[in-house]
Structure 1
Amino acid sequence: MEAIGKKTWIIAEGYIPSYGHGPEPQFTSHETACILNTSDREAHIKITIFYTDKDPVGPYEVTIPPQRTKHLRFNELKEPEPIPKDTDYASVIESDIPVVIQHTRLDSRQAENSLLTTIAYSE
């Protein structure tokens, strides 16, 4: 199948609360990049995180197998360093082949959970 999407994606808004309600890991508050690779090649992804008051961090590197999707929780990114909780950030996601990225947030700080999802901005 042909590669569908773009090579550069931006999620201008990010925030991971330090606490939540409900069983873990299902109800852990999180930010997720849902990445779809429709091509017949691996997608090599590099993520750079931007902050309000410090230099960018990255790249975080992820590989998405051919014709697969990955729901990548930003909470689980560890190298080069974990993304701090209770901190505003933004991300630029670059791929060597076109992919599609959707952004999702689960905010479980209250018993009435909130889920937000939107397509990321592409270049």
Structure 2
Amino acid sequence: MDYGKKVWVFPDAELPPIGNNPIPGHESIIIANLGDQEACISITLLYVDKDPVENITVSVGAKRVRCLRTNEDKDFSGHTATIGEQYAILLESDVPVVAQYGRAEPRNVSFYTTPGYCE
């Protein structure tokens, strides 16, 4: 059985400030590949007032999970999020995966996760 979907959209991305709380402000995309073959994923970042960043590629091994931190150069091919900038994240995978967005928000000391829109 194939678990997951090939296309995921997270329309409400925004890197929060670091803050001074026990859990520092950050955001991430978590991808679980429950299948028997590696997932090759293309990421597009969509912005309010500038051109998209396209063709960021990552892989997730078969029966593995991967966490991508949007403020880490190594996770998004050198394209890090800017604190406070509104943007959206599009994931397109060659095999079904399960994806989730997470944000640690230091302004009100909260952490939340949400599945994105998928098809």
TM, length-normalised to structure 2? 0.88
Structural mapping, 1:1-123, within 5 Å: 2-22=1-21, 27-76=23-72, 77-110=75-108, 113-123=109-119
- Report how far residue 83 of structure 1 moved: 1.9
- Report how far residue 80 of structure 1 moved: 4.8
Q: Distance in 1 between matches of 2:87 and 2:46?
A: 5
The sequence identity of aligned pairs, in percent, is 38
Structure 2, unpaired ranges of 5+: none
- Report how far residue 91 of structure 1 moved: 0.7
Q: Distance in 2 between matches of 1:82 and 1:45?
A: 17
- Report how far residue 71 of structure 1 moved: 1.8
TM, length-normalised to structure 1? 0.85
Judge conservation of contact 2:18–2:26 (CA < 8 Å) in 1.
Answer: no
Q: Structure 1, residues 16-62: CA drift from partner, whole Å, max 9, x if none?
A: 12331235xxx231121111101111101111001110010122211
Q: Structure 1, residues 100-120: CA drift from partner, whole Å, max 9, x if none?
A: 11111111235xx21111111
Judge conservation of contact 1:60–1:80 (CA < 8 Å) in 2.
Answer: no
Q: What is the RMSD of the two structures over their aligned residues, measured on CA atoms?
A: 1.6
Structure 1, unpaired ranges of 5+: none
- Report how far residue 78 of structure 1 moved: 4.5
Q: Alignment partner of 1:75: what SS?
A: coil
Q: Structure 1, residues 51-91: CA drift from partner, whole Å, max 9, x if none?
A: 11001012221110110111211121442522222100001
Runs of 4+ in 1 over 6 A off after TM superposition: none
Seen in structure 2, the aligned counterparts of structure 1 residues 11 and 78 have a Cα distance that, compared at 3 Å, is closer
Q: Distance in 2 between matches of 1:78 and 1:95?
A: 15
